[in-house]
Every structure is written in C-alpha cells, then in structure tokens.
Amino acid sequence: MSLASEERTIIMDSIRDIPDFPKPGIIFKDITTLLGNPKAFSVLMDHLTNRYLGYDLDYVAGIDARGFIFGSILADRLGIGFVPVRKKGKLPYTTVAEKYSLEYGFDEVEIHIDAFGEKKGAKVLLVDDLIATGGTAKAAVNLINKVGAHCIEACFVMELGFLNGREGFESEVYSVITID
Ligand code: AMP
C-alpha cells in the first residue's frame, strides 16, 4: 500500500524543521506540528492502518516516547495490544535490556519480560517517529526477539536516508517518508 503523492505532501508539510536542536548541526524533525494538524495526523494513521490490516499482527511495540503516540493509536485501530519499549529504569516489572551506541557513549532500552504474553513467536510491528542511525530501533528489535516474539517489520514516519540506518536490521524496514 503506497502513499499517494498528495498524502505525502500533507504529512511532509506538517512536520517542522528545527535547526541546531538539540545541538549545533542537527536538523530536528519536529512532529508536534503533525500531531496538532488533524488532517495530517489522520492521513498518516489511515495510511498505516491500511498498510498493516493485512499483516495479521499480534502486537504493536512503540519506542519511548514518540513511538508511543503513533504505535498505540495504530494498535487500537488494528484491534491488537500495544507494548512500550522504554528508556532504562522506567518499567516497573522484570525487564530485559539492550545497550546501543550513541555518537558518544551508550544508551539502553528495556521491555517487560512477559510483554507478549505466553504465546511464543507473536508477530510484532515496531513503530517509532524517525530513524536516523537506526541504533535505537535495532536494539528494540533485538529486545522483542529476545523475549520470544518475532519483530516482522520496523516502521517509521520519517527516515533520514543519508544515514543508512536501515542497513543491518533483522526485520523488514518501512518508512512513510524518506529524506535523501
Ligand atoms: P537513531 O537511534 O540514531 O536512529 O535515532 C532515533 C531516535 O532519535 C528516534 O527516537 C528519534 O525520535 C530521535 N532522533 C534522531 N535524530 C532525530 C532528528 N533529526 N529529528 C528528530 N528526532 C530524531
């Protein structure tokens, strides 16, 4: 299910570029303006719902924090459960953790050990707002697979294609909009 060019334009135009945030040289893709634009938000969610209706998914997992917004709405629309992948130290029950490299140093994401219930091999879609280097999302895919589920695709609203973050994923990768 591909995105019509007018839908792409509506979504693209609703995302704001903030230069030099959070540090000099980074152009931050601000999706709060998309969230505040009901037309763009529903075009995006309709597109994702249509794409994933036929995938027979068991869960949507979202990455802390903007992946929670898109992922939980999508899960509800698909009639399935939502699982949060959180930054270290936020989840209250027993967790599994995965470290990943940042430009300087490391960060860590966690998931509840029983997030996908008893059934082994649950089919999971991972959602986040943006893929840059891909480090965060690859760690999240590893976590999903570590706790006995199967991440079949990682889905992003935006991809910074010039960073080649989609290389080396264990799952398929889909981006609504790619910036070259
Ligand atoms: P990465 O692990 O490098 O793919 O970074 C992805 C995470 O950082 C996502 O959760 C994004 O929300 C955030 N991120 C990285 N770069 C940007 C950017 N230029 N604009 C907005 N968010 C970004």
Nearest-CA residue for ligand 1 atom 15 is 132
Is 172 marked active-site? no
CA distance 97 to 88: 8
Ligand 1 center to 118 CA (angstroms): 32
pTM beyond 0.85: yes
Contact by Cβ (8 Å): 144, 82: no
23 CB burial (10 A radius; 0-12, 13-18, 19+): exposed
* Residues pairing with 28 in the sheet: 18
pLDDT of res. 143: 98
Atom of ligand 1 nearest to the CA of 66: 12
Domains, the chain, with CATH or none: 55-179 (3.40.50.2020)
pLDDT in tens, 84-131: 999 999 999 999 999 999 877 899 999 999 999 988 899 999 999 999
List own/partner pairs for 113-121 with CB under 8 A and 24 or more apart. 113/147, 114/147, 115/59, 115/61, 115/83, 115/147, 115/149, 116/58, 116/59, 116/83, 116/144, 116/147, 116/148, 116/149, 119/58, 120/148, 120/149, 121/148, 121/149, 121/150
- For 76, the token pair is 């509800």
